[in-house]
């Protein structure tokens, strides 16, 4: 398939014109509204509250977790009344607000971990009360013993006893809940089951299991496919992999190193991640990035810039992706920053 060219340069919407990472997160929240992950009015309400101190990550955390608490309370109220679907919808939004609040908080302190635990509780409440999709909480165990929390979501609109399955990993700073909200509906309605995994360095895995980011992501990718092969409701010969953002490194690496994957989708390109962060360090904070610099230190368990670059040395696809034998789809915005 030839590359699809953009129709032309465009000026993209930025809620906070002077702050790229805040604006990128707001855009993610706005886009999540179409799947019930947010409410644009609630997003704008917080946006207005924090606009007085743009770049103040303490205020960001405070206002988003406050909105998460407000929406969670709405869910609890509806649940007590027996309005379970309404409650589920509130819990779903609350989860995302808590996670967005935690996103920029560095270092990850007691408040950050508490907010993230509450977000997981909200999402589990959503899954328990909603009428669809049918979802199981599972744990993927790597060959070296790492525990990776995951959700298995059953395919819809298919009569196949063993439908196709897709493994989905996060990016650098997202979570299985965020990817679930964005991708589950479109895939399961097309007859594919999904396994959403917090891989090493992401979500619950880094926060509660100390599973740090690693270059050999096939440790998680192969463990995911091992799990799916044991299920009687999955076609083990039709398993694909998809990941977003830094997942543009994870997914191609996994598919290149484990030939059991029959298709690969990179939702964003990432050819040489060390070069990405070398450029960011050299720019002295002027380069666009979606998270505070401290974030990469945390997920790699690296104290210095030199140690970060050392640990990122093998985060390259050259010499790896050439081994891939399955169909590969790469999507990347022409004006991506």
pLDDT, residue 7, reads: 60
Q: Are 79 and 210 in the same domain? A: no
Decide if pLDDT at 174 tops 70: yes
pLDDT for 285 equals 74
In total, how many domains does the chain have?
2
Boundary residue ending a domain (103, 131, 159): 131
- On the question of pLDDT at 3 being above 80, the answer is no
99 token code pair: 């996670």
Tell me: do 162 and 92 sit in the same domain.
Answer: no
Report the Cα–Cα distance between both ends of the chain, in Å, rounded: 24
How far is 139 from 137, CA to CA, in rounded Å? 7
Exposed, middle or buried by CB within 10 Å (0-12, 13-18, 19+), for 49?
middle
What's the whole-number mean pLDDT along residues 232-252?
Answer: 97
For position 6, what pLDDT does the model report?
60
Last residue of a domain, one of 116, 131, 146: 131
Q: Give me the torsion for CA of 23, 40, 77, 96, rounded to 10°.
A: -30
- Structure-token match 């996994």, residue found: 254
Tell me: do 49 and 171 sit in the same domain: no
Residues 258 and 152 in one domain: yes
User: How far is Cα 142 from Cα 205, in angstroms, rounded to an integer?
Assistant: 12
- The pLDDT of residue 2 is 66
pLDDT above 90 for 4: no
The tokens of 35 are what? Answer: 């799947």
Distance CA 320, CA 329 (A): 16
CATH number, domain of 45, equals 1.20.1440
Q: Determine the average pLDDT of the residues in 81-97.
A: 99
pLDDT at 107 over 80: yes
Task: Report d(CA 64, CA 81) in Å as an integer.
Answer: 26
Q: Give yes or no: residues 123 and 148 share one domain.
A: no
186 and 335 part of one domain: yes
Relative orientation angle of helices 176-188 and 84-102, to the nearest 10 degrees: 130
The set of long-range contacts for 37-45, using a CB threshold of 8 Å and a minimum separation of 24, is: 37/92, 37/93, 37/96, 37/178, 37/181, 37/182, 38/93, 38/96, 38/97, 39/93, 42/67, 42/71, 42/93, 42/97
Residue 10 in this model has a pLDDT that exceeds 70: no
Can you name the residues that pair with 329 across neighbouring β-strands?
A: 265
Supply the range of the domain harboring residue 171. Answer: 132-271+317-337
Lowest mean pLDDT segment, chosen from 67-81, 117-131, 249-263, 286-300: 286-300
Residue 297 counted as domain residue: no
The yes-or-no verdict on residue 9 having pLDDT over 90 is no
pLDDT of residue 90: 99
- DSSP for 208-231 reads HH-----S-THHHHHHHHHHHHT-
Domain boundary among 131, 147, 182: 131
Average pLDDT across the chain, whole number: 95
pLDDT higher at 10 or 184: 184
25 vs 1: which has the higher pLDDT: 25
């Amino acid at each position: 398939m030839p590359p699809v060219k953009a129709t032309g340069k465009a000026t993209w919407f930025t809620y906070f014109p002077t702050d790229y990472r805040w604006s990128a997160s707001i855009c993610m929240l706005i886009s999540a509204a179409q799947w019930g992950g947010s409410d644009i009015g609630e997003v704008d309400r917080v946006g207005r509250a924090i606009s007085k101190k743009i770049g103040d990550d303490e205020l960001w955390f405070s206002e988003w977790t406050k909105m998460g608490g407000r929406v969670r309370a709405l869910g609890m109220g509806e649940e007590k009344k027996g309005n379970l679907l309404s409650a589920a919808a509130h819990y779903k939004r609350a989860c995302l607000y808590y996670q967005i609040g935690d996103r920029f908080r560095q270092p990850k302190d007691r408040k950050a971990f508490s907010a993230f635990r509450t977000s997981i509780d909200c999402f589990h409440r959503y899954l328990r009360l909603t009428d669809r999709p049918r979802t199981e909480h599972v744990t993927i165990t790597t060959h070296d013993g790492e525990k990776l929390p995951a959700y298995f979501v059953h395919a819809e609109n298919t009569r196949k006893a063993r439908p196709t399955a897709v493994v989905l990993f996060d990016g650098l700073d997202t979570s299985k809940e965020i990817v679930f909200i964005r991708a589950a509906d479109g895939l399961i309605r097309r007859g594919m089951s999904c396994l959403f995994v917090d891989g090493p360095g992401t979500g619950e895995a880094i926060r509660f299991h100390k599973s740090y980011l690693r270059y050999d992501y096939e440790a998680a990718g192969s463990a995911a496919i091992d799990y799916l092969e044991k299920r009687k409701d999955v076609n083990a010969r039709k398993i694909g992999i998809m990941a977003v953002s830094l997942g543009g490194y994870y997914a191609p690496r996994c598919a290149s190193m484990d030939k059991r994957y029959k298709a690969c989708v990179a939702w964003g390109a990432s050819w040489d991640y060390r070069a990405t962060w070398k450029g960011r360090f050299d720019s002295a904070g002027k380069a666009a990035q979606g998270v505070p610099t401290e974030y990469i230190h945390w997920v790699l368990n690296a104290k210095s810039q030199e140690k970060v670059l050392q640990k990122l040395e093998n985060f390259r696809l050259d010499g790896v992706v050439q081994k891939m034998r399955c169909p590969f789809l790469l999507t990347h915005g022409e004006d991506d920053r």
